[in-house]
Structure 1
C-alpha cells in the first residue's frame, strides 16, 4: 500500500500543534471544562501572556473555541475527540516503557540538549 504523504500533512500539523507541554496542559485542563484565561493562569501556574499565546495558537488550529461571557471569554475544547487523544497521549508512553521520552530525537533529553544516557550536555 502506497501512502500519500500529502494526505498525512493535516495529521502531522495536528501533532505539531500539540508538541508543546504548555499547550497540552491547557488542553488537559479544558477537557475538564471551559475556563477563562485567569482560571488557566492560576490553576496551571503559567503566565497570562503564555496562556494567551498558546490559546491563540490552539484557537487558530481549530482545537479551542472562544465564547464571550460578559467582559470575560470562556475557552473550551472545540472538538470533543481531543479528550480521547489526550488520554491516549498519557497511556501510550507508559505502555511503551516511556520509550518516547527516551527517544534521542524527540525525548526529554533531546529537548534539553543532553545526550541520551549521560545525564549532562
Structure 2
C-alpha cells in the first residue's frame, strides 16, 4: 500500500463532512438528539434532503439513531467527531478562515466564481 492509498480513509471522512447540509445536521445533533421532523423544521430543509444526508452520516457511522415507539431519535455516534469539528473551528480561527479564499475550494466555487483576496 502506498502512502496516498493509506490516506484514502481520511479523505473519505473529510469528504463525508464536506457538504454544508451534513455539517449543519452534525452541528445540530451536537446539541442533542433530534428526529427528522425536528431537523427539517430547525434547518429549513425538506424531509427527503435530511433523510438522505442522515443516511450518509449513518453509513459512515458518524451518526446513529434509537427507536422510541414509531419515532427515531438521531444522535452523534462518535464523540471524536465533535472533537474534530472543534479542532476545525480553532484552525479556521487561527488562519483567519483563509480557506474561504482558496481559489479551488473557497466559498466562491459553489457559484463557479473565483474569489480573490
Q: Which category describes the TM-score, using the shorter chain as reference length? A: over 0.9
CA deviation profile, 1:47-95 (whole Å, cap 9, x unmatched)? 1111111000100111111211111111111101111111122222221
Task: State the match for 2:4 in structure 1.
Answer: 5
Task: State the match for 1:98 in structure 2.
Answer: 97
Task: State the match for 1:35 in structure 2.
Answer: 34
TM-score of the two chains, using structure 2 as the length reference? 0.92
Contact persistence 1:93–1:101 (CA under 8 A):
no
TM-score of the two chains, using structure 1 as the length reference? 0.89
Secondary structure of 1:68's counterpart equals: strand
Task: Name whichever of 66-75 and 87-96 sits farther off.
Answer: 87-96
- CA-atom RMSD in angstroms: 1.5
Task: State the match for 1:51 in structure 2.
Answer: 50
Query: Matched residues in 1 for 2:8 and 2:108: separation?
Result: 27
Q: Does residue 15 of structure 2 align to residue 16 of structure 1?
A: yes
Task: Name whichever of 50-59 and 84-93 sits farther off.
Answer: 84-93
Contact persistence 2:107–2:115 (CA under 8 A):
no
* CA drift at 1:111: 2.1
Structure 1, unmatched stretches of 5+, are none
Pairs aligned (count): 116
Query: Matched residues in 1 for 2:18 and 2:50: separation?
Result: 15
Secondary structure of 1:38's counterpart equals: helix
Query: Matched residues in 1 for 2:93 and 2:5: separation?
Result: 31
Query: Matched residues in 2 for 1:37 and 1:113: separation?
Result: 32
Structure 2, unmatched stretches of 5+, are none
